[in-house]
Structure 1
Amino acid sequence: MKMDSFNAKLKQFAKDLFAIDAIKFGEYKTKVGVMTPVYCDLRVIVSYPRTMETLADLLVTYLENISRFDLLCGVPYTALPIATAMSLKTSIPMVMRRKEAKDYGTKKLIEGIFKEGQNCLIVEDVVTSGSSILETVKDLNGAGIKCTDAVVLLNREQGGSEFLKNNGIQMHSLLSMTQLMEYLHEAGCVDDAMVEKVKKYLAATQIDQTQLTKTIKQDRLSLSFKSRAKLARNPVAGELFEIMSSKKTTLCVAADLTNSTDLLNLAEEVGPHICILKTHIDILEDFHLNLIKPLIEIAQRHNFILFEDRKFADIGKTVEYQYSSGVYHISLWASLVTAHSLMGKGVLDALKRSGGLYKRGVFLLAEVSSAGNLINDGYVKATLAMAEEYPELIAGVVCQSPLFRAHPGLVQLTPGVSLDAEKDALGQRYASPRNVVLERGADVAVVGRGVTGAKDRGAAAQKYREVLWEAYLGRVEEA
């Protein structure tokens, strides 16, 4: 397409955006809470197939050598249909990045067929800061896909292009805000006063690149465990980060055994290779408090943390008894426990005020690895909000996807990890060590039968430890 023809088509496209109410003028609040006189609601394009086709044509034409890309990926969710239209125009395969991994099916963050080392073009609708593009790049990198370029419909000219360039991404924008305003003014869609108002707004609302860089660097998936230890508000989480860093392990073994002697033998065998030993103390058929002293001694000698996976979920007073009294006296020996948020804050208040160990931490259960569970998005969001309310008590979150990237002091613990199995007869679903670290964002990976069912449990734990640590190093180096 000749340049004159391209420009004419672009001008008409700008008018079309205005006509379908994708560009609005007035007083609108942006995602970051700042008021703007111009708001771009490009999600409406999906209801106008001809406009979407025109956009795909323009973007493909604008990129001089789009064939050099192996893959396309739209930033979720508005840019997904744009990337799809471009893929149909060019026959370049597309991959999709989820905002969160699901606990069914493949459970991947990156969906589609791809090979490690392929180069992917990021597709976005509007760029202000560019942070959404970088989040997508990080997840693609974690899956082994390279990213160097992004193409966008509209650059709001508030510093996003420069920020992306400083982070290794070259941005190509079909329209700038200035250019859009010129086209709309020329078409009589806006007057001189609105053009000037938008111009002043852009000049006054440039992004703070220093602060944004600081925020990006606080992404826990980019930071080493050593640096995150200093950011942990919960003392057990801080200790755990130090152990993980010094022992070079992210392995938690689930000791789901029914015999006390077998439990102690397992702790001795896997102790050199783990950061956490997770118990279900109430399944022991021969439990006695005499078990606790040697278990603590083994944990201290091999430098790992004892974690009772009790999953407290009752009224506060009952939880207080379950935690500090009864047969098991959990609060006297388990530095970490799990709790549901289902019953509200009373559970956490009870765990916080009970007697026992001075240093204690709670993992809140946000997502699970079992098929057919009833957890929904609302429950997950409420759980994360509760975790933020109790920073000194909450050590981390049990989940299957990177739900809290901006909270590097919290630990993501992810169960259901296996080198071989995919599922069992009772609905447990498994993920590979590499997948659980690089795609799902796990800091600590929980392995059960992959270790406890092995002939040489120590050797199995060592193998898992090495594979998981290699994946962690890849995540930190690529970030």
Structure 2
Amino acid sequence: MNSAVNHGPSTAAGAASDQDGLAQEFVQFAIDAGVLRFGEFKTKAGRMSPYFFNAGLFDDGAKLARLAQFYARALLASGLEFDVIFGPAYKGIPLGAAVAVELARQGVNKPFAYNRKEAKDHGEGGTLVGAPLQGRVLIVDDVISAGTAVRESIALIRAAGATPHAVAIALDRQEKATEGGKDVDWSAVQYVRETLGLQVCAIANLAQLLHHLQSTDKFLPYVNAVSAYRTRYGVDQRT
């Protein structure tokens, strides 16, 4: 970023501890906001998940503003550098806009763009709206389920002559992706990192979510179910 934040000397362990603290704070916020729920939910992969994260339920100004603060804190802590923020339709549009506003509030003003699902045939036309896509582009979304949406964003960004550089997401589910209806040994986030070559900045991941549940008796009823789900569908953390 063009406005790097220097907090002085720190160790890798200290940085990891700060990130864990941010993740724990975010998980509790998501629970309080009703965005992170527990029970039985069917995922896109057809699995019965004991938890469900629906970023669409950050549905008022206060929640969206605080969510943007978490994204901004995670991005600033990561040291990730980029030139433009891109919000893919549809959920990525308000997320990207809110993150752009929060970063500007913190002194890191970045251009913002988004896309339409269907090209406009009047006015300025086309599918892209906002700032020109150029340089290193950060894609902002809620989660990465299969990498399909990221590939679509990559195609748009490259077609505009810019470089898809990184993805910022709220939650890394850290679970096996599927291909042809079968589980594979890598997650969608790992696919984006290792195959598509983009950096990924997540506010929190499944391991941190589980750690938060284990930290208080209040969530003990959910710990066994989430642990069992992670054992069955979790990925080996290679990155």
Q: Shared fold by TM > 0.5? A: yes
Q: Give the conservation status (yes or no) of the 8 Å contact 1:118–1:146.
A: yes
1:19 deviates by 1.5
Going from structure 1 to structure 2, the CA distance change for 1:27 and 1:53 (only over 3 Å counts) comes to same
> In the alignment, what sits opposite 1:65?
79
The within-5 A match list for 1:236-385 is none
> In the alignment, what sits opposite 1:105?
123
Mapped to 2, the partners of 1:43 and 1:172 lie a distance apart of 20
Q: Give the conservation status (yes or no) of the 8 Å contact 1:46–1:81.
A: no
1:176 deviates by 0.3
1:160 aligns with 2:173: no
Among the aligned pairs, what percent are the same residue?
23
Mapped to 1, the partners of 2:147 and 2:171 lie a distance apart of 12
Cα RMSD over matched residues? 2.5
Q: Residue 63 of structure 2: which of 33, 51, 73 is its match?
A: 51
1:79 aligns with 2:92: yes
Which letter maps to 1:29?
Answer: K
Q: Find the residue that maps to 1:60 and give its secondary structure.
A: helix
Mapped to 2, the partners of 1:175 and 1:114 lie a distance apart of 30
Which letter maps to 1:131?
Answer: T
Q: Residue 132 of structure 1: which of 110, 125, 149 is its match?
A: 149
The within-5 A match list for 1:412-431 is none
Going from structure 1 to structure 2, the CA distance change for 1:126 and 1:188 (only over 3 Å counts) comes to farther
Going from structure 1 to structure 2, the CA distance change for 1:5 and 1:163 (only over 3 Å counts) comes to closer
> In the alignment, what sits opposite 1:190?
219
Structure-1-length-normalised TM-score: 0.39
1:17 aligns with 2:46: no
Which letter maps to 2:28?
Answer: K
The within-5 A match list for 1:425-440 is none
Q: Give the conservation status (yes or no) of the 8 Å contact 1:43–1:78.
A: yes
Mapped to 1, the partners of 2:174 and 2:86 lie a distance apart of 23
Mapped to 2, the partners of 1:195 and 1:43 lie a distance apart of 25
Structure-2-length-normalised TM-score: 0.74
1:139 deviates by 1.4
Q: Find the residue that maps to 2:168 and give its secondary structure.
A: strand
Q: Find the residue that maps to 1:150 and give its secondary structure.
A: strand
1:13 deviates by 2.8
Structure number with greater CO (CA < 8 Å, separation at least 6) is 2
Mapped to 2, the partners of 1:79 and 1:187 lie a distance apart of 33
Q: Give the conservation status (yes or no) of the 8 Å contact 2:51–2:226.
A: yes
Going from structure 1 to structure 2, the CA distance change for 1:53 and 1:7 (only over 3 Å counts) comes to farther
Going from structure 1 to structure 2, the CA distance change for 1:189 and 1:155 (only over 3 Å counts) comes to farther
Which letter maps to 1:186?
Answer: S
> Whose strand fraction is larger, Structure 1's or Structure 2's?
2
1:144 aligns with 2:161: yes
Q: Find the residue that maps to 1:129 and give its secondary structure.
A: coil
> In the alignment, what sits opposite 1:92?
110
Mapped to 2, the partners of 1:37 and 1:167 lie a distance apart of 29
Going from structure 1 to structure 2, the CA distance change for 1:80 and 1:184 (only over 3 Å counts) comes to farther
Count of aligned positions: 203
Q: What are the superposed Cα offsets for residues 15-49 of structure 1, whole Å, 9 maximum, x if unpaired?
A: 121112101111112234332211111111132x3
Q: Give the conservation status (yes or no) of the 8 Å contact 1:15–1:187.
A: no
> In the alignment, what sits opposite 1:418?
none
1:176 aligns with 2:205: yes
Q: Find the residue that maps to 2:57 and give its secondary structure.
A: helix
The within-5 A match list for 1:193-232 is 194-205=222-233
